[in-house]
Chain A
């Protein structure tokens, strides 16, 4: 069992095909698998369906796969930061399935946990509920949402050990954990692969059973919205 690959391209070998579904981690540009996204762009895999909370920005993150027209459909909760996305969507070139953020996260978690569907009150009475099964529990209406099982998951973590155990950092954990679990193959890119035994088993965020391939690399980690305050001069 060898999970460590030398780079993103080799880690994706045999895992990409036209028309596939990919689940991607990240929130905005925070904790996105930027190296794997770039490698998918270079592999020119077409007609992708991508489940990801956001669609990157123009020229970075998943925005790169939009620029090259590799994406057929996005399953996302918020796509407001990407002009090219908007253009392709409004002109009918790109399909978009809006999912409420928590529904999207739970669809990934459920898919990875062997749960094909679940009922949620989120979206009842809105366009999201149209065509979905409605059911009452204890007097409240819920709608049926389905688990997502993706052909491939691409995620970013802070550290991994060679067995695939992952540790995330701060809010860069976000969708990476649920996305990792819902892929038939999960490839994780990390900032550092540490020796076996150096991660505290009590502090592992995602057990290596979910992670099939790992690469280490340098990340740009672009900040989308830099906000600061002045140091108070007391």
Chain B
């Protein structure tokens, strides 16, 4: 069985290391916060101006002045700090954030990421994604391996407008985990019940041993 959204998030959470400052993107990456391993302390950065992002508030305790980058109401923690957007991206661009876990539409075998635009269809904007992939120490992309129509989203070359070129380190999909290495992608592991052959069949990108 391929991994579901929560299993993908749980797998992505295994990437976290104690003491790291981490930025989680919108969608499945947000769920990673639910699976932070015991004994691993990470500080979550929200690029709208917060370090130390806490869980959703209890009903009736929502504060319109306290949201995350997905515009969801959240809470603060004892270690929370607030700052402005210029400061927020100074720490992102300046390499202070150890890792970003982001969603993706397409990833290429050279680590190109496309996740912000489908020309003529979806014009929402890149938000902070281009800054994150250019600035953080490590980029992990979490996404479905194929489209609804079964087409691979792990490609030789991205077809959609890029968010960043050669920026992805690791891809976690519903079928398994791949690393971007010289010459292509290397299979790190497969989801339970998914064979290496299944994963290769669903991947357009070059897989190297």
State which of B59, B66, B131 has its C-beta within 8 Å of the C-beta of A102.
B131
Count CB-based A-B contacts (< 8 Å): 185
Main secondary structure of the interface of B (DSSP, over half): loop
Which residues of B lie under 8 Å from residue A228 when comparing CB positions?
56-62, 73
Which residues of A in the span 168-222 have a Cβ within 8 Å of any Cβ on B?
168-178, 205, 221-222
Determine if B124 and A121 form an interchain contact, defined as CB atoms under 8 angstroms apart. no
Chain B's nearest CB lies how many Å from the CB of A206? 9
Q: Is A2 an interface residue (CB 8 A)?
A: no
Instruction: Determine the distance from Cα of A106 to Cα of B126 in the docked complex, in whole angstroms.
Output: 16
Contact size class for A?
Answer: 35 or more
Chain A's nearest CB lies how many Å from the CB of B18? 25
Determine if B84 and A177 form an interchain contact, defined as CB atoms under 8 angstroms apart. yes
Q: Is A5 an interface residue (CB 8 A)?
A: no
Instruction: Determine the distance from Cα of A127 to Cα of B93 in the docked complex, in whole angstroms.
Output: 19
Instruction: Determine the distance from Cα of A61 to Cα of B58 in the docked complex, in whole angstroms.
Output: 27
State which of B65, B124, B131, B166 has its C-beta within 8 Å of the C-beta of A171.
B65
Determine if B82 and A173 form an interchain contact, defined as CB atoms under 8 angstroms apart. yes
Q: Is A59 an interface residue (CB 8 A)?
A: no
Determine if B62 and A124 form an interchain contact, defined as CB atoms under 8 angstroms apart. no
Q: Is A31 an interface residue (CB 8 A)?
A: yes
Q: Please tell me the number of chain B residues within 8 Å of chain A, measured between CB atoms.
A: 54
Q: Is A227 an interface residue (CB 8 A)?
A: yes
Determine if B65 and A105 form an interchain contact, defined as CB atoms under 8 angstroms apart. no
Determine if B49 and A79 form an interchain contact, defined as CB atoms under 8 angstroms apart. no
Q: Is B55 an interface residue (CB 8 A)?
A: yes
Determine if B74 and A227 form an interchain contact, defined as CB atoms under 8 angstroms apart. yes
User: Shortest 10 CB-CB distances between A and B: which pairs?
Assistant: A102-B89, A125-B165, A80-B124, A102-B131, A177-B84, A78-B125, A105-B85, A100-B130, A221-B64, A101-B128
List residues of chain B with CB under 8 Å of any chain A CB. 46-50, 55-74, 76, 82-86, 88-90, 92-93, 112, 123-131, 134-135, 161-166
Q: A29-B64, A171-B48 are in contact. List 7 more A-B contacts (CB 8 A).
A: A77-B128, A100-B130, A127-B161, A169-B65, A177-B84, A228-B58, A229-B58
